[in-house]
Amino acid sequence: MKNFIDDAKDALTTVIKTILPNESYVGIVSFSDNGHLRKRMTKITSESDRNSLADSLPVIAVGGTSIGAGLETCYQELLTLNNVTGSVIYLATDGKENKSPYTEEVLPKLTKKGIVIHTLAIGSSADKKLNNISKITGGSSYFYSSETVDSTSLVDALIEPFTESSKDRIIRIKTVHAVISTHQVFETNFVIDDTIGRDTIVQLTTHVLRDVNLTIKHSEMTFTKIGTAGDNSVIYVKIPGIAQIGNYDVFLSSTTNDISGTLSIFSKPVSSKQAVLQVNVLNTEPEIQYSAGLLFPLYAAVYKGLLPVTNATVMAVIENEIGDRFNTILKDNAIGADVSLNDGIYSCYILPNELSANGRLSIKVIAEGYSAKVVVEVTRSPGTKFTDDFEEQSIGPFMRVALAREITVKNYTLLDKNIDLIPPSPILTLQLSNISNEDNTYTITWYAVGDDLDKGNATSYDIRYSDKFQKLKTDPGHQQTITVGIIPKEPGETESFVFQIPNIQTNSTYYIAVRAVDDQNNTGDLSNIISVSILNDRYWFDDENTDGLSIAFLVGISIGAVIIVVILLVCVITLIKKKRVPRMSNYAI
């Protein structure tokens, strides 16, 4: 593993110089065989205070690893303050504890005082109990793989908890790794939306900053910072006042050195009363127990204030201990891990073939919206449909980034890639969209699902019907089948199928459901169940002379009753499923 000290020093300098708010008390402790107080608790009131703290960061690591000694030194220094309750320790290490005092000896006194500990495990050798230290004290645990090329997770992990704990909340817009040769130009962009813009900062974290040019352009405005030999680990541009809404272009170049560093962009709400657009990662479990049938859900909530944001693009970047990285898309489409359409909860499953090793994972979630909308409640007029209680309103473009707490993979084994045990996702969007009186046909629609849940393409569909609801629900494989000749579309696209029910009987109700099948004959769970009622009871009609009406006409008249049944069935299933989705919290986890 490469030496992380320089990288960690750069990232911590970033936190000290631009993230920690004024009036904060900050101290610095390092540890090896013993704890070393490098900087006493210092109240940040000026740029000089920040520079002094940054200059006190350690530059070498020698000796053993006594995490307990480091925590004890932190504890004693915190006691010099009048009130330590709610104080925060950020513990970062690449080592495994091998010297006393051990953490178990020190933690009780810290928890008794209400001290929160955030932890960062750096590399595969970092102590496995870091996560538990955070859990016991109410903190968050993060992971940085020093083996991953071009990762931003070190800067992400050090910034994330401080943005949440700050009284003046910081909204992270974007982080990206920048690699560029001398005299070349690196370009990227970011967006300021209508909920943020105050104290907007674009910063570069890297080792050498002399002659580095950081330029931001927006409309007719240009902001530039050129690094000097005296700049320490980070240079930044702060846009004065309230940044204007819109797109900003970022240009990075150097005339003397190659550049390899992390660009991070963040801002603050326009006002404390502003309904801020935010993304929160909702981890459900801290561990992934690996198996061939693994289905590990990942959720991210995208909200503007309390309003769910729909039609956003949400992606998770996942890095492991051996340096592997993969991306996966989270969707709000009621397919796969996502159980409710357009509720602002974006979901995906991490599948067995996406993992490659045991150990910790770092998960960064990126959310962007260029045609996004918010779901707002409206007053429903008498006689309108229940679905009219809500409507979507367009919002402007936005960008957000958030980091999940670490997740650990256990019991990983290399599996035969030809073994496929993952079925397609259950279909939760089946609905009756049309009934034809002329030829007694029915049209049903649903959103296509994938081969492996919501990934890839399914191979076929299995449509079943019965006049007994319970039989269809519990034993669909032995109910009547309807031949389907359609080829499944891409997940999320709308499927439409027209059919007739053979030997249809009047005064009967038929229940219909669909399952998707993949190329290994894995069959997805049953969809939501819809129903069709065929009636000729004159009670349902205004005209008493209806005895001679055709079945097709009766079916057409009964569609109102059918819609009511469909709504009831779909609502019941949706509400039951919905309970499985974690609540959105006010902080990223």
pLDDT (tens place) for every residue of the chain, 589 residues total: 445 788 889 999 999 999 999 999 999 999 999 999 999 999 999 999 999 999 999 888 778 899 999 999 999 999 999 889 999 999 999 999 999 999 999 999 999 999 999 999 999 999 999 999 999 999 999 999 989 989 999 999 999 998 875 568 899 999 999 998 998 999 999 999 999 999 999 999 999 999 999 999 999 999 999 999 989 899 999 999 999 999 999 999 999 989 999 999 999 999 888 889 999 999 768 899 999 888 899 999 999 999 999 999 999 999 999 999 999 999 999 999 998 989 999 999 999 999 999 999 999 999 999 999 998 887 766 665 555 577 889 999 999 999 999 999 999 998 887 788 899 999 999 999 998 877 888 999 999 999 999 999 999 999 999 999 999 999 999 999 998 888 999 999 999 999 988 888 878 899 999 999 999 999 999 999 999 888 765 555 454 444 433 333 233 322 333 333 333 333 332 232 333 333 332 222 2
Q: What CATH number is attached to the domain comprising 207?
A: 2.60.120.260
Token pair listed for 581: 């989705």
- Residue 584, in any domain of the structure: no
- Pair 238, 380 in one domain: no
Nearest-angstrom CA–CA distance, 311 and 371: 7
Token pair listed for 416: 């035969």
- Pair 242, 201 in one domain: yes
217: Cβ–Cβ under 8 A, 6 or more apart, which residues? 223, 248, 249, 251
3-state SS string for 55-123: HCCCCCCCCCCCHHHHHHHHHHHHCCCCCCCCCEEEEEECCCCCCCCCHHHHHHHHHHCCCEEEEEEEC
- Pair 241, 285 in one domain: no
Q: What CATH number is attached to the domain comprising 297?
A: 2.60.40.1930
What's the structural domain count of the chain?
Answer: 4
Which sign, positive or negative, has the C-alpha torsion 330, 334, 340, 341? positive
Domain closes at, from 243, 271, 299? 271
- Pair 258, 283 in one domain: no
- Residue 417, in any domain of the structure: no
- Pair 11, 109 in one domain: yes
- Residue 415, in any domain of the structure: no
- Residue 248, in any domain of the structure: yes
Domain closes at, from 167, 183, 211? 167
- Pair 151, 182 in one domain: no
Q: What CATH number is attached to the domain comprising 67?
A: 3.40.50.410
Q: Please state whether beta strands 88-93 and 116-122 pair in parallel, antiparallel, or not at all (unpaired).
A: parallel
- Pair 390, 435 in one domain: no
- Pair 401, 461 in one domain: no
Domain carrying residue 235: 168-271
- Residue 588, in any domain of the structure: no
- Residue 422, in any domain of the structure: no
- Pair 158, 15 in one domain: yes
- Pair 174, 39 in one domain: no
- Residue 349, in any domain of the structure: yes
- Pair 2, 147 in one domain: yes
- Pair 65, 135 in one domain: yes
Domain closes at, from 245, 271, 297? 271
- Residue 586, in any domain of the structure: no
